[in-house]
Structure 1
Amino acid sequence: MTKALIVGGGISGLATAMVLSRQGIEVDLVERQPQVEALGSGITLIAPALRALDRLGVYADCVGQGYGVTDFEIYEVDGTLAERFPLPSPVGTDQPGLLGMMRPTLHTILLDHATNEGTVVRTGVAPVHIEQRPSAADVTFNNGEHGHYDLVIGADGIRSTVRELLFEPLTPRPLGQGIFRVVLPRPAEVTAEVQFHPAGDVTVGFTPTAPDRMYMYCLFPIDDGYRPEKEELVDLVRARIAPFGGVVAEIRDAVKDVDQIHYTRFETVLAPDPWFRGRTVLLGDAAHCTTPHLAAGAAMCLEDAVVLGEELAAAATVDDALRAYCTRRFDRCKYVVETASLLSHWQTHPDTPGADHSRVMGEAFERLAGPF
């Protein structure tokens, strides 16, 4: 294989570009937005994500521009510490078990590596037609250009154009829950990943992202059409976190600018197995978009890139590689989507009989720490 097209300039696409370029493959990457950038605030990178970043060779860059933690703390609603447990490192005993950083920072690291290693990036460009050939694909773009590729990779997110062009129609599933992510000053005592027990159907937590910064996440139920007005955001966040004590109460007045706040509603996608048609394959959110309840979305995207590269390097044919990639990825990613969705349901329905967040999350982290 000599030339690949990657559609989408997110975590999945950029990581895959790095992997393929290192195998001597010529990589074109197109992004439909005017810029390759990440919107939003912070991101929580759990152990599997750090392991994948290490395999990609960017772990040190990320740790140097983020905030590593070694403990997870759970608090009662009033701010009393309920539990603390260590987060084992997947990389080395002296390294963090979890990393918080700003999404744009992670994006910049991946983009810089991808372009420095030869990936050609074009923005404002998207495919409008993909014609499958026996051992290639011809692509027509929205600017009228055409390209001939040995492999096309759809890494273009939950509303993937590639998936729409070649795979069966798939509508993202709303979960009836939204999240406010708020960038805040980090109090000196917040040195761990922090989560509070829910106050009714509202969940709050913190991830440190820098020596002087952290982001707060606040999860709450929403109606399908809920779209908060920007000028309301500060009051909405303050109202949601009002029942909580401890650090939450201490930082409540620091929520004072709408530019600190990023709102998202939760939707999921799980494309049926297999994730390839001919010489076109899906990965990342285009194939399996989850919610952040396990903080595993980025981890699954990064693992996709690593696995696809490994299988392309090892298999006798591209077809064999794509089959092996799907075999290794489908059940693991399906588990993440379904488990995170279950946790979301329990949070929005706090009286659900038998709900056991701690057990399910503990089992999930143990499973995700295993080989992929």
Structure 2
Amino acid sequence: MPVQKVLVVGGGITGSVLSLALARRGVDVDLVEISPQWFGVGHGITLQGNALKALRAVGVLERVLERAVPFDRMRLRRADGGLITELLTPHTGGPDLPSTAGALRSDLQDALCDAVYAHGVQVRLGVSVERFDQSAGWVDVTFTDGTRGRYDLMVGADGINSAMRRLIGLSARPRPVGMSIFRVVAERPAEMDCAEVYYGGPRFKAGYSPISADRCYAYLLDENLDTSLVGPRAPLTLLRERGAGYGGTWGEVTAALPDDTAVDYRWIEAVLVDEPWHRGRAMVVGDAAHACPPLIAQGAAMCMEDAVLLAELVTGDEPLERALDHFMCRRLPRVGMVLRNSLQLAEWEIHPGTPGADPARIMSETLESLTAAA
């Protein structure tokens, strides 16, 4: 029997897409988000074709593309800005969609939030799950505000540091990859028409992507610095110091940043739950189940694919247990491949000159394999 009432825990990209996908299939959805405010924050995001395909499946693609910047290539540059090569990027979402689009995370999340409300999802902010009990037929949930609910399925979509993963008894934990990332949103130069990556400088690499008509997202991949720096307000002077040695458009973008620019700095972590993501009628998806370094720009796409496929399978004719097993058979090999290849790229970035290193081949093979249906 298809599920009729589902609890989604976490209102980020994964939880929002899942809530929409379920609601559009007639499911009664409750969405709880621990933050008391629900809106898009943060830097830019790269949405490859398979992510755009998922957004189309839940009806928000047109709105996202109104402000996003589609492009079908990326350029590799030397640290001084000189061109190495230009690569066409595969259409992982099919030939009728852009191969890539850069977007502001707030634009994407705002579109998802509005659609979630418009489709009748019951959203509760400042609330999460305290505990749950389940039987063969349902999950009884006690929330942190003392209220309770009964559901056919409970899905944790609460990110890489998922509390739901621990709550349902999954042992996987995030681990540092060995690199960190500075991120800023900046003014977009007129000549910036696609993503570009700078190699051969003093850090692992630098890059940027256009994300709106007048904004771009710039980043610097570095070694892990002191943990006291981690957060949304790292010093701009530190970004400039660590990025000294990169010229071209990247150097111009960072030099023009206002002194009050918000610089987000994070250690990059990875996690993979390599066992079933469900325990009975409780499960996790998205970054709570798998999160990888951003070197192939597939993190958001993998999360959205989870959401769309899960909604399809649990509203089908199969019993829930069989539907969840089917889901795992389709998702684990795919996300595992993306994670392994992303970690391999990170290893080669950290240890340049490794014999046999071939990042271009790994990236090309990964994206080509993702042109197959999720």
- TM-score normalised per structure 1: 0.95
User: How far has the Cα of 1:46 moved from its partner?
Assistant: 1.1
Which contiguous aligned blocks of 4+ residues in structure 1 show a shift greater than 6 angstroms?
none
Q: Quick one: distance in 2 between partners of 1:47 and 1:89? A: 6
| Selected match of 1:360 from 354, 359, 362 | 362
Aligned 8 A contact 2:232 2:265 in 1: no
Corresponding position of 1:329: 331
* CA distance in structure 1 between the partners assigned to 2:254 and 2:25 by the alignment: 49
| Match in the other structure for 1:83 | 85
**1:305 is matched with which residue?**
307
Task: Return 5+ residue gaps in structure 2 as ranges.
Answer: none
Instruction: Report how far residue 97 of structure 1 moved.
Output: 1.6
The aligned residue for residue 4 of structure 2 is 2
Contact 2:232–2:264 (Cα < 8 Å) also in 1: no
| Separation in structure 2 between the aligned mates of residue 75 and residue 315 of structure 1, nearest angstrom | 51
Aligned-pair distance for 1:28? Answer: 0.4
2:59 aligns to what? 57
Contact preservation (8 Å) 2:43, 2:217:
yes
1:239-288 residue CA offsets vs partner (Å, 9 max, x unmatched): 22221221122223212334332112111111132111111121101111
Q: Give the superposition deviation at 1:75.
A: 0.9
Structure 2 residue identity aligned to 1:154: G
Residue number in structure 1 paired with 2:174: 172
Going from structure 1 to structure 2, the CA distance change for 1:40 and 1:198 (only over 3 Å counts) comes to farther
Offset, 1:166: 1.2
What is the one-letter code of the residue matched to 2:300? A
The equivalent residue for 1:21 is 23
Equivalent pair of 2:184/2:263 in contact (CA under 8 Å): yes
Are residues 1:269 and 2:271 paired? yes
Structure 2 Cα separation of the partners of residues 91 and 301 of structure 1:
14
CA distance in 2 between partners of 1:101 and 1:50 (Å)? 11
Deviations 1:90-147 (A, max 9, x none): 5675753211111111011111111110101111111111111111111111111111
Match of 1:40 in 2: 42
In 2, Cα distance between the equivalents of 1:331 and 1:324?
Answer: 12
Mapped pair 1:127 → 2:134: no
Distance 2:213 2:232 in 1: 28
Which residue of structure 2 aligns with residue 117 of structure 1?
119
Matches within 5 A, 1:134-173: 134-173=136-175
Match in the other structure for 2:74? 72
**Greater displacement, 13-22 / 191-200:** 191-200
Answer with 245-254 or 188-197: which moved more. 245-254
Distance of aligned partners of 1:110 and 1:230 in 2 relative to their CA distance in 1, 3 Å threshold: closer
Q: Secondary structure at the match of 2:352?
A: coil
Distance 2:91 2:132 in 1: 42
Match of 1:296 among 295, 298, 306: 298
Match of 1:236 in 2: 238
1:95-106 map, 5 Å: 95-106=97-108
Give me the whole-angstrom Cα distance separating, in 1, the residues matched to 2:277 and 2:231. 37
CA contact (8 A) 1:30 1:126 kept: yes
1:224 Cα deviation from its structure 2 partner = 6.9
Is the 2:232–2:262 Cα contact (8 Å) retained in structure 1? Answer: no
Paired residue secondary structure (1:293): coil
Name 2:280's counterpart in structure 1.
Answer: 278
Q: Distance in 2 between the 1:41 and 1:123 partners?
A: 22
Secondary structure of 2:229's aligned partner: coil
Q: 1:216 to 1:311 in 2, by over 3 A?
A: same
Residues 253 and 223 of structure 1, relative CA distance in 2, 3 Å threshold: closer
From the superposition, tell whether residues 229 and 258 of structure 1 become closer, same or farther in structure 2 (CA, over 3 Å): farther
More divergent stretch after superposition (339-348 vs 172-181):
339-348
| Larger mean Cα displacement after TM superposition, 51-60 or 149-158 | 51-60
Counterpart secondary structure, 2:164: helix
Any conservation in 1 of the 2:177–2:268 contact (CA below 8 Å)? Answer: yes
Describe the SS at the equivalent of 1:259.
Answer: coil
Structure 1 residue 26, shift from structure 2 partner: 0.7
User: Judging changes above 3 Å, is the alpha-carbon distance between structure 1 residues 360 and 90 closer, same or farther for their aligned structure 2 residues?
Assistant: closer
Residue 345 (structure 1) shift: 2.0
Identity %: 38
Distance 2:108 2:117 in 1: 14
Q: For each residue in 1:192-223, what CA deviation from the matched residue of structure 2 results, as whole angstroms up to 9, or x when unmatched?
A: 11111241433111110112111111111115
Q: Is the 8 A contact 1:184 1:213 kept in 2?
A: yes
1:179 corresponds to which letter in structure 2?
A: I
SS in 2 for 1:157: coil
Gaps of 5+ in 1: none
Q: Which amino acid aligns with 1:333?
A: V
Letter in 1 for 2:365: E
CA distance in 2, matches of 1:200, 1:184: 22
- SS of aligned partner of 1:214: strand
Question: 1:209: which partner in 2?
Answer: 211
Aligned pair count? 372
* C-alpha contact (below 8 Å) 2:203/2:242 kept by paired residues: no
Shift of 1:56: 2.0
147-156 or 82-91: bigger deviation: 82-91
SS in structure 2 of the partner of residue 332 of structure 1: helix
- Displacement of 1:88 in angstroms is 4.5
Deviates more, 1:327-336 or 1:85-94: 85-94
